Amino acid sequence: MTFDNDPQADATKARNRRSLAIAGALVLFVVLVFVITVVRLGGSKPSAYVAPRTGLNSPASQSAHP
């Protein structure tokens, strides 16, 4: 016995649509935060950047003096 206007089936469909809408909004939010983070950090130097050593204690200056 099937009913076309089953209230429980309609509620389940509405709940599923609402869950999908919330999941989609969450995914969009995560992507937005990721893109903003990449754009903000894009112009900076990587944290592993080490400036070249210069001065009296650098290996280059020590190899010049036997």
- Whether this model's pTM surpasses 0.85: no
The pLDDT assigned to 65 comes to 52
Residue carrying structure tokens 């206007």: 5
Q: Which residues contact 54 (CB under 8 A, 6 or more apart)?
A: 60, 61
Question: Is the model more confident about 49 or about 26?
Answer: 26
Lowest mean pLDDT across 8-12, 15-19, 23-27, 51-55: 51-55
Q: Half-sphere exposure of residue 56, counting CA atoms within 13 Å on the CB side?
A: 0
